[in-house]
Structure 1
Amino acid sequence: MVWPGRHRGGFTTAPATAPTAARSVPPPVLPAAVLALVGCEGRQSALDAAGVGAQEILVTGWILFAGGGAILMAVMALALYAALVRPERFPGRRAWVIGGGILFPVVTLTALQIHEYALARRLAMLAPEPALVVEITGYMWWWDVRYRVPGQEPLRAANEIVLPAGRPVELRVASADVIHSFWAPSLAGKIDMIPGHVNRLPMVAQRPGLYRGQCAEYCGAQHALMAFDVRVLPAGAFDAWMADQRRPVPEPATSVLARGRDAFFAFGCQSCHAVRGTEASGLVGPDLSRLGARPSLAAGTLPTRVETIAAWIQGAQHIKPENRMPSFDVMDGETLDAMAAWLESLK
């Protein structure tokens, strides 16, 4: 596997893990490690619910898990009892078959089905006139985001979704090419993104923080590198964020940043990308107006830093093959540094 190194030197190969390391772990430790990893909480964990939808899904999951475990224990206990005792000491064999084999599954599964139907209905309940609509379009392999507030011009962003805590939001998702699936497990359930069709998902984020989402439908070679960040802000901070996002980007503060901005236009980047307050208004690629404030670059592929931005500009096709960003390996190092610094300054 290769990872981006300094842009002038291309890429460096990550040191391989010694093959004897895995064999040195005692066998009983491996299952315990797997179970520990499965149970970990984090910003992309369905076990760390921070939204109303995710909380209801988590409760239902625990109900199913506990119920399934109880049924398994009961069945194994009955099987053990039947195997150890004499047949004449096992009364009511016909009743056990009818009650345990027919009535109990029918009643239990019907109750669970009714509960799940009611849950799905609650999770899909849409507000008649949502105060905030976030339109998300999946591309191979990035996310185009537009915020729509009644009476205001739409606000465009990319690969990061910012939401207000405690306020209902309606997500409207679609795809521009193949089927994708939008999933932020800490906040809500997953929903498919289908070309030519808009699906709607209400969401209420409860706890401020930074969460991670992922495309959950295989969509091509770089499906694994199609992630996004969800930043949940307190309601007041979100309003301030929205107002700040509508302002044009500031003028370059130094000659280096000015050189980077000029290089951005000299190499034709404005043909694909937009930067608010400048002549760049491209729609083919992600909006870069606040690139430096986003936690990650290229749909979760790299952390956002000057070095990684430079590496991405120079070797996008090496880092994420077959994406629509060509590798610009023709500019000199100082120009590349300046352009990366200017993009990182857009916050």
Structure 2
Amino acid sequence: MKWVAAPVALASVLVLSACTQEQKQGFLPGESGVTNHWDGIAGLWVTSWIVLLLVGAITWGLIIWATIAYRRRKGQTGVPAQIRYNMPIETFFTAVPVMLVLGFFAFTAQEQAKIEARYDAPETRIEVVGKRWAWDFNYLDEGVHFSGVQVQTDENGSALPETMPVLYLPVGKTTEIKLESRDVIHSFWVVEYLYKKDMIPGKSNYMSFTPEKTGTYMGKCAELCGEYHSMMLFELRVVEQDEYDAYIADLKKDPDNHGFLGVDYNPNQNLPGAGVPADEVSQEG
């Protein structure tokens, strides 16, 4: 095996050294270090497809070898032996998949535990409320909110920037996003962050991360939620602290932005915990 491993390792190094940065990160969106989770997610993804590509190459090689080695030779008649045991290969085909499954599970669980961990005292807390087909952003520490509307499009079907809901976050701050839905299941997805999380009516979900680079990132709903699901878009703008403070100050200038927009506008009045319907109350009375 050492005579095989060395050429394979050398070939892998040569191939990877010729790859572009996009190829090296497995064609994933975003860039290294955009959040504290990005490198771990990208590393798991790239390592997984490299390992699976090697497994595929070995499997294809064995199939081709068996096709050639056990073909019917010239002058032979009848059907070749259909059953032939090879204990080393049988052991290989059993042990390797088991090790791969256990390995993928362990590394995935390890990375998922990091992603799902909540900060004890996040520096920025935002509540995002999904609604058909837009977003509301409650800045919980500042006592103000932003109410979004459905994104409108021009004659070419492109989103109009002035109708795009925008979520502001300060760079380098531990951030907790509380996710709520006002109607049906949505999914909060910042594409370049490689992370999405469902928003389920009647249930609060959380996602925690630290944005480590300033910039504007595309966000969207990743759960089919109705007729205008494709237009349920938003932008995430990660800015310096002074710009974030200036944005919050602008929101506070309008009294209509004070307070929070919760799920009390939920049209689903029969959710668990919503209380007894009015007609049943009158009948019981």
Report the TM-score range of the alignment, normalised by the length of the smaller protein: 0.5 to 0.7
Letter in structure 2 aligned against 1:98: T
Q: Deviations over 1:104-134 (max 9, x none)?
A: 0101110110110111110011112222111
Pairwise mapping of residues 50-65 of structure 1 onto structure 2 (< 5 A)? 50-65=34-49
Is residue 2:111 matched to residue 1:119? yes
Unaligned runs of 5+ in 1: 1-38, 249-273, 285-347
SS at match of 2:220: strand
Letter in structure 2 aligned against 1:97: E
Contact 2:130 2:182 in 1 (8 A): yes
- Post-superposition, which runs of at least 4 consecutive aligned residues in structure 1 deviate over 4 A? 274-277, 281-284
Cα distance in 2 for residues equivalent to 1:180 and 1:46:
23
* Greater relative contact order (Cα < 8 A, sep 6+): 2
1:276 Cα shift?
4.7
Letter in structure 2 aligned against 1:142: A
Letter in structure 1 aligned against 2:123: A
Q: Which position in structure 2 is the counterpart of 1:176?
A: 182
CA RMSD of aligned residues (A): 2.7
SS at match of 1:52: coil
Q: Which position in structure 2 is the counterpart of 1:93?
A: 86
SS at match of 2:172: coil
Pairwise mapping of residues 1-347 of structure 1 onto structure 2 (< 5 A)? 46-49=28-31, 50-86=34-70, 93-99=86-92, 101-149=93-141, 152-158=142-148, 159-248=165-254, 275-276=256-257
Letter in structure 1 aligned against 2:189: W
Cα distance in 1 for residues equivalent to 2:214 and 2:260:
32
Q: Which position in structure 1 is the counterpart of 2:276?
A: none
The 1:276/1:177 distance shift into structure 2, 3 A limit, reads: closer
Unaligned runs of 5+ in 2: 1-21, 72-83, 149-164, 263-285
Contact 2:169 2:238 in 1 (8 A): yes
Cα distance in 1 for residues equivalent to 2:120 and 2:37:
18
Aligned pair count reads 208
Q: Deviations over 1:249-305 (max 9, x none)?
A: xxxxxxxxxxxxxxxxxxxxxxxxx8459xxx9969xxxxxxxxxxxxxxxxxxxxx
Letter in structure 1 aligned against 2:231: L
Letter in structure 2 aligned against 1:156: F
SS at match of 1:167: coil
1:148 Cα shift?
1.4
Q: Normalization by structure 2: what TM-score?
A: 0.66
Q: Deviations over 1:209-267 (max 9, x none)?
A: 1111111111111111101110111234323333343234xxxxxxxxxxxxxxxxxxx
SS at match of 1:246: helix
Contact 1:170 1:200 in 2 (8 A): yes
Identity over aligned residues, as a percent? 24
The 1:95/1:276 distance shift into structure 2, 3 A limit, reads: closer
Q: Deviations over 1:151-174 (max 9, x none)?
A: x42443432111111211000001
The 1:276/1:135 distance shift into structure 2, 3 A limit, reads: closer
Letter in structure 2 aligned against 1:242: I
Q: Normalization by structure 1: what TM-score?
A: 0.55
